[in-house]
Amino acid sequence: MLSKEKIKTAIRERYARVAHGSGCCEPVGCGCASKPEECLSQTGYSPIELMDLPQEAVVTAAGCRNPIAFAELRPEEIVLDLGSGGGLDALLAAQQVGPRGTVIGVDMTPEMVARAQGNARKANAPNVKFYVGEIERLPLKDASVDVIISNCVINLSPDKDAVFREAFRVLKPGGQMVVSDLVTQGELPESLREDLAAWTGCVGGALDQEEYIRKIRTAGFMEIAVIQKSEPQEELPLFSITVRGLKP
């Protein structure tokens, strides 16, 4: 059985390569086999909202759906992006919360955090901060953020229960979590669960949709709703969902 540390190491190494410019689109999982702009268009990003962002934020982006399209962010809110990568979603969130709002990105890959920090400087977004950290152990205080977003990252974690517990901990009462992710219909073959390449491609760690939602509920979230769902892929029972949960 693959250990949690072995999985994390493989994921960190892969996204370090992406940060250095190897590209992130793949035929399956958390990318696609086309140009980055086409990937983003297919997952709910408009060319207009990408227009003023640094190109470096666009080319390192990979995900399954645009969570900001569903988050209804408001000015002055504090937003946390779990697995912020090169900073695309964090920079888009900053546009919505305005200069008096704050966006915090947490990513476990130092190279990605460095790339995101550079992108924030290029975008002239001083209200966006990026930190190296694991989403299973967030470097934030209790009840310190209004909204949590994430795009095709939680499925990379080998301890999703810890991720959702931490998300619940750092949210303020009445706060919301809006996450886009890849899930399955039924169980994946064990061969994929034991394949590091499948894990780094956002496949090996994907859970059945009902189990995924059950873990969110167990963490304490209420009013959980699937607000977006794609069709399963032909080769695997894999599809994207966007889920909203509220903290009482």
Give pLDDT tens digits for 205-233. 999 999 999 999 999 999 999 999 998 88
Task: Return d(Cα 125, Cα 14) in angstroms, integer.
Answer: 27
- The 10s digit of each residue's pLDDT in 151-205 is 999 999 999 999 999 999 999 999 999 999 999 998 899 999 999 999 998 999 9
Structural domain harbouring 172: 4-246
Residue 141, CA distances (Å) to 138, 145, 172, 196 in order: 8, 9, 10, 33
What burial class does residue 229 get, using C-beta atoms within 10 Å of its C-beta: 0-12 exposed, 13-18 middle, 19+ buried? middle
Report the mean per-residue pLDDT for the chain: 91
pTM recorded for the entire structure: 0.94
29 has pLDDT over 80? no
Residues 6+ apart with CB under 8 A from 218: 161, 164
Please list the residues that pair with 242 across neighbouring strands.
180, 228
Within a 10 A sphere around the Cβ of 246, how many other Cβ atoms?
A: 15
16 has pLDDT over 60? yes
- The 10s digit of each residue's pLDDT in 93-117 is 999 999 999 999 999 999 999 999 9
- The 10s digit of each residue's pLDDT in 44-66 is 888 888 888 888 888 777 788 99
CATH number of the domain where residue 105 is located: 3.40.50.150
Task: Return d(Cα 164, Cα 228) in angstroms, integer.
Answer: 19
pLDDT of residue 40: 84
Structural domain count of the chain? 1
